Amino acid sequence: MTVACNKIGQVMVLSPAGRLDAETAPHLQDEIMTHVDSGETKVLLELSGVDYVSSAGLRAILLVAKKLQELEGRFALCGLSEPVAKVFQVTGFDAILDIHGDQDQALAFLAG
Amino acid sequence: MLTFAEEILLLLLDDETGKIEQEGPKVLDVLLAGAVLMDLALRDRIDSDLERLFVVDHTPTGEAMLDSALAEINRARKTQNAGEWVLTLSDRGGDFKAAALDQLVRRGILDVLDDKFLWVLQTRRYPMIDDREEQEVRTRILEVLSSDTIPDPRDVALICLADAGAVFPVVMSKDALDRASGRIAQLRKMDLIGQAMSGAVRQLVEDIAIAMWQRPF
């Protein structure tokens, strides 16, 4: 998995590409936490390049979201592909996380 | 740290009688199978998606109960989903229960007493010696249910188990349970193994109810 990082305004945008599973989730989690530990408090996970998410991937996202909530930061996701959106819907992750259709909507939410 | 099987057994143990109360032995078997799978998942030994459950790391955890289940999944030739694995491993529910109770006794949390009548073993009871672990587990669950914060994956798993094991009506008042019901419904969806285990328990309870209804008086 590759993870592209791009700072847009005050938001750190991370765009992973590939599968988000037990093998790759720790890498993504570490990457996000590195930014959070260095002071980033607004994080957007842009998932249009991810076509598969497993339970381990969901747990990594949950831990990141929880950490940012504890730090009173903000976390959002956008660009979910159809199979990934289905997993989020089945597990109810779409009800507890801020998920947006595209990056512009997500950035507007995080800026607000 | 306790395993999920140990935690759910502590929650299900009747503190007065030292016995584990469940609607049927098979329900407990399913709960314990789910607990073992959840532990393996949170220890990064297995992963799952909507279609299958699979081993990602066959390194033993050091917990014999978990490692025997991990070895069985690793040996399997046929791919199964989380629900199928819950049912497969539920056949070993008795072993999981014995291993988890032994571990709780070894940790000094439970005692073991054999009740005999006319020199014949009647029942085995597990009186609580140290209730700090049980209180900690209860407090953790109730804190998560009374807030709307993002939960920890470990708390999600425990709430799935407690819900499927019908623990909440015992540890919460009816009003508190009513208030928390939406939150419980939200959290029990969040773990795919938990979902599968809850579905299997629900089916078993329905089957038991139908069998009771059809039983001649």
Query: Who among B47, B151, B192 is closest to A22 (CB)?
Result: B47
Chosen for mutation from B49, B58, B187, B193 (greatest number of chain A CBs closer than 10 Å) is B49
pLDDT of residue B207: 82
Q: Across-strand partners of B65?
A: none
Q: How far apart are CA B27 and CA B22, in angstroms?
A: 7
Question: Cα B34 to the chain's mean position, in Å?
Answer: 6
pLDDT of residue A46: 97
| Residue numbers in B near A88 (CB within 8 A) | none
| Residue numbers in A near B144 (CB within 8 A) | none
pLDDT band of B123, cuts 50, 70, 90: confident
pLDDT of residue B210: 85
pLDDT of residue B122: 66
pLDDT of residue B217: 61
Query: Who among B56, B189, B192 is closest to A23 (CB)?
Result: B56
* Chain A positions touching chain B (beta carbons under 8 Å): 21-23, 52-56, 58-59, 62-63, 65-66, 69, 86-87, 90-93, 95-97
Q: Are strands B53-55 and B113-117 parallel, antiparallel or unpaired?
A: unpaired
pLDDT band of B23, cuts 50, 70, 90: low
Both tokens of B127, joined, read 């009186």
Q: How far apart are CA B49 and CA A50, in angstroms?
A: 15
Q: Do B49 and A63 touch (CB under 8 A)?
A: no
What is the residue-averaged pLDDT of chain B?
91
Instruction: Give the minimum alpha-carbon distance from A70 to chain B in angstroms, rounded to a whole number.
Output: 9
Asked if pLDDT for residue B121 goes beyond 70, the answer is: no
Q: Are strands B120-125 and B113-117 parallel, antiparallel or unpaired?
A: antiparallel
Neighbours of B113 (CB within 10 A): 11
What is the amino acid identity at position B132? R
Query: Who among A56, A86, A93 is closest to B190 (CB)?
Result: A93
CA B92-B96-B102 angle, to 5 degrees, is 145
Specify the range with the lowest mean pLDDT, choosing from A7-11, B58-62, B100-104, B167-171: B167-171
pLDDT of residue B120: 67
Sign of CA dihedral B128, B169, B20, B187: negative
pLDDT band of B185, cuts 50, 70, 90: very high
Determine the average pLDDT of the residues in B66-81.
96
Per DSSP, the three-state class of B110 is strand
pLDDT of residue B130: 86
Q: Across-strand partners of A77?
A: A45, A99
Residue of B nearest to A96 (CA): B150
What is the amino acid identity at position B6? E
Specify the range with the lowest mean pLDDT, choosing from B1-5, B21-25, B48-52, B54-58: B21-25
- Cα-Cα-Cα-Cα dihedral of B99, B103, B106, B107, to 10°? -170
Residue of B nearest to A26 (CA): B44
pTM above 0.90, yes or no: yes
Residue ranges of chain A with pLDDT lower than 70? none
Query: Who among A23, A90, A93 is closest to B50 (CB)?
Result: A90
pLDDT of residue B131: 87
Any residues with CB less than 8 A from the CB of B12 and at least 6 apart, and which? B20, B21, B22, B28, B165, B167
* Secondary structure, 3-state, A13-57: EEEEEEEECCCCHHHHHHHHHHHHHCCCCEEEEECCEEEEECHHH
CA atoms within 13 A on the CB side of A60: 22
Q: Which residues of B171-188 are buried (b: 16+ CB within 10 A; e: fewer)?
A: ebeeeeeeebeebbebbb
Q: Do B48 and A55 touch (CB under 8 A)?
A: yes
pLDDT of residue A103: 96
pLDDT of residue A30: 97
pLDDT of residue B206: 85
pLDDT of residue B20: 84
Query: Which of A95, A87, A3, A1 has the alpha carbon at shortest distance from A45?
Result: A3
